[in-house]
Structure 1
Amino acid sequence: MKHISCLFFLLLILTLWPRRTLTTNEFGDSDNIFDQSRRTLTDDIGDSDNILDQSRRTLTTVGDSDHIINRACEATPYKDLCKASIKDNIEAVADLYSVANIAVKVAYLNATDTQEHVKELLSTETEAFVHQSLMDCSANYDDAIGNLEDSMAAFESKGYDHIQTLVAAAMVDPQTCEDYFNESPGHTSPLTSRNTILVKLCSNALAIVKLAAAEK
């Protein structure tokens, strides 16, 4: 009797114990979560495709710019210097016209840097001949800078003939500066390397301008 009572009590507990039932709503929530995950994955793949496409376009642009630079610099007398000076501004390269513009700008920046260097030398130079030669060089570099500034402005109207005349004039100035120091035996120009670089940059710029003008 005692065992029967215990069994009856156990059955009663199992009958009355609250049971949790999975409802349609719960299944619906699971479906929603799965659907959201699927949409998120699709969006991520779409974003990845966009990123990949943008990267592909960027690589194509860089490749085109490299081709244009190589083509322009092959027409110059100092090819390695040309490529090194233009590639620092590769983001601005779109065609031969833009390469020519960059080449002139590089020559201009080089001339202004040398002009500042000349001023530093003048502040410490005590020998009369060298001091006077530096003064004359400073005047020459003023002319070169002015001509290169005018040539950069002429790009707005694509006046190629005028640009070539101005760049050619600017190229003479560092050569003249070098000659000053040769007028007195025993003197060496402190600007030889800088004068040489500017002549080469102007020569390269002139060649690229001619190339761009021929294909306008």
Structure 2
Amino acid sequence: MNIISCSKVFLIVLLVTLFPTQILSQNLAVCDHTEYRVLCRKTLSSDSASKSATSFDDVAMIMLKHATSTANQISDQLINLLKQARSSWGGDVVALVNCSKYYKDAIGKLEDSRKALQSKRYADVKKPILVAMTAVGKCDQDFKKFGKNSNPPLGYQGDTYIVLCRIVLQLTTRK
């Protein structure tokens, strides 16, 4: 009797410890349905919420959360750069002000997409996220037009942001 009880406990502990790994493995497989598998897998692996994700919608929501987080980080950096800006920066200040506005608008559009996804209104996810993605291009154009530098001082964050948004679109257009 004691051996049977121990084996039952062992089996339960084994299942409990393996099940989250199996779910994460299945969610990582969802990334194979996107063009950007590497970033999708990396993002899922780094997010504890992915352990409870069970559908394409759940994974899309995680990607959207990370896209919003990236947009917020970019917006914060732009604000910090504006605080440091001097009048001698000239056109860079204009570009920074405009970029800050673009990203604030983008964050609002991402929220619209989140609400649509949460309500399973897949057709309503696409337009706001596409508009939100334009922030990067507009910002790049403003730095080329007004700034001393031809590129915004944000590195590859804009690229990561765009790819996260594209992953969301690819997962939600499967419906």
In structure 1, give the amino acid aligned to 2:170: A
Alignment of 1:105-120 (within 5 A): 105-120=65-80
Question: Which of 102, 105, 117 lines up with 1:143 in the alignment?
Answer: 105
Tell me which amino acid in the other structure corresponds to 1:85.
T
Structure 1 runs (4+) greater than 4 angstroms displaced = none
Q: How far apart are the structure 2 equivalents of 1:51 and 1:172?
A: 53
Q: Which amino acid aligns with 2:39?
A: L
Structure 1 residue runs without a partner (length 5+): 1-38
Q: Which has the higher contact order (CA 8 A, sep 6+)?
A: 2
Give secondary structure in 2 for the equivalent of 1:159: coil
Verify the 8 A CA contact 1:178 1:195 in the aligned structure 2. no
The answer as to whether partners of 1:155 and 1:163 remain within 8 angstroms in 2 is: yes
- In structure 2, runs of 5+ residues without a counterpart are none
3-state SS, counterpart of residue 74 of structure 1: helix
Map 1:19-30 → 2, pairs under 5 A: none
Cα drift, residue 95 of structure 1 = 1.2
| Distance in 1 (alpha carbons) for counterparts of 2:132 and 2:146 | 25
SS of residue paired to 2:33: coil
Secondary structure at the aligned position of 2:145 is classed as coil
2:128 maps to what in 1? 166
- Alignment of 1:55 with 2:14, yes or no, is yes
With 146-155 and 184-193 compared, the bigger mean Cα shift is at: 184-193
Match of 1:198 among 155, 161, 173: 161
Q: Which has the larger radius of gyration?
A: 1
Report the count of equivalent residues: 170
Q: 1:91 to 1:64 in 2, by over 3 A?
A: closer
Deviation (angstroms), 1:139: 0.4
The structural deviation recorded for 1:184 is 4.4
Aligned to 2:142: 180
Question: Take 2:10 and 2:78, find their aligned partners in 1: how far apart are those partners?
Answer: 50
TM-score, normalising length: structure 2:
0.87
Deviates more, 1:138-147 or 1:74-83: 74-83
2:75 is aligned with what amino acid? Answer: Q
